[in-house]
Amino acid sequence: MHAAYPALRLRRTRAAAWSRRLHAENVLTPADLIWPLFITEGHDVEEPIAALPGVSRWSVDRIVARAKEAAALGIPCLALFPNTQSGRRSDDGAEAINPDNLMCQALRAIKDAVPDIGLLTDVALDPYTTHGHDGLVDARGYVTNDSTVDALVQQALNQARNGSDVIAPSDMMDGRVGLIRSALEQEGFVNVQIMAYAAKYASAFYGPFRDAVGSRGLLKGDKTTYQMDPANAEEALREVGLDLAEGADSVMVKPGLPYLDIVAKVKQAFVVPVFAYQVSGEYAMIEAAVAAGAADRDAMVLETLLSFKRAGCSGVLTYHAPLAARLLGA
Q: Applying CB under 6 A, which residues contact ligand PBG?
A: 122, 124, 126, 134, 170, 206, 209-210, 223, 279-280
Is the distance from CB of 285 to CB of 258 less than 8 angstroms? no
Is the distance from CB of 316 to CB of 308 less than 8 angstroms? yes
Residues in a beta bridge with 262 = none
Q: Which is nearer to ligand PBG, 35 or 206 (CB)?
A: 206
Q: Which is nearer to ligand PBG, 162 or 203 (CB)?
A: 203
By the 10 Å C-beta count (0-12 exposed, 13-18 middle, 19+ buried), 319 is classed as buried
Q: How far is the CB of 223 from ligand PBG (least distance, A)?
A: 6
Q: Which is nearer to ligand PBG, 122 or 239 (CB)?
A: 122
Q: How far is the CB of 200 from ligand PBG (least distance, A)?
A: 7
Distance CA 109, CA 288 (A): 34
What is the chain's length?
330
Which residues contact residue 178 at a Cβ distance below 8 angstroms, ignoring those fewer than 6 apart? 245, 246, 247
The catalytic position among 68, 111, 223, 254 is 254
Residues in a beta bridge with 149 = none
Q: How far is the CB of 170 from ligand PBG (least distance, A)?
A: 4
Residue 200 annotated as catalytic:
yes
Q: How far is the CB of 126 from ligand PBG (least distance, A)?
A: 5
Q: How far is the CB of 252 from ligand PBG (least distance, A)?
A: 10
DSSP 229: P
Q: How far is the CB of 5 from ligand PBG (least distance, A)?
A: 49
Residue closest to ligand PBG (Cβ): 209
Q: Which is nearer to ligand PBG, 105 or 170 (CB)?
A: 170
Q: Which is nearer to ligand PBG, 147 or 330 (CB)?
A: 147
Q: Which is nearer to ligand PBG, 162 or 280 (CB)?
A: 280
The catalytic position among 200, 223, 265, 309 is 200
Identify residue 215 by its one-letter amino acid code.
S
Output phi, psi for 222, to 5 deg: -135, -170
* Nearest alpha-carbon partner for 49 in 289, 329, 281: 281
Is the distance from CB of 250 to CB of 164 less than 8 angstroms? no
SS3 126: coil
CA 199 to chain centre: 12
Interhelix angle for 297-311 vs 260-269, to 10°? 30
Residues marked active site are found at 200, 254
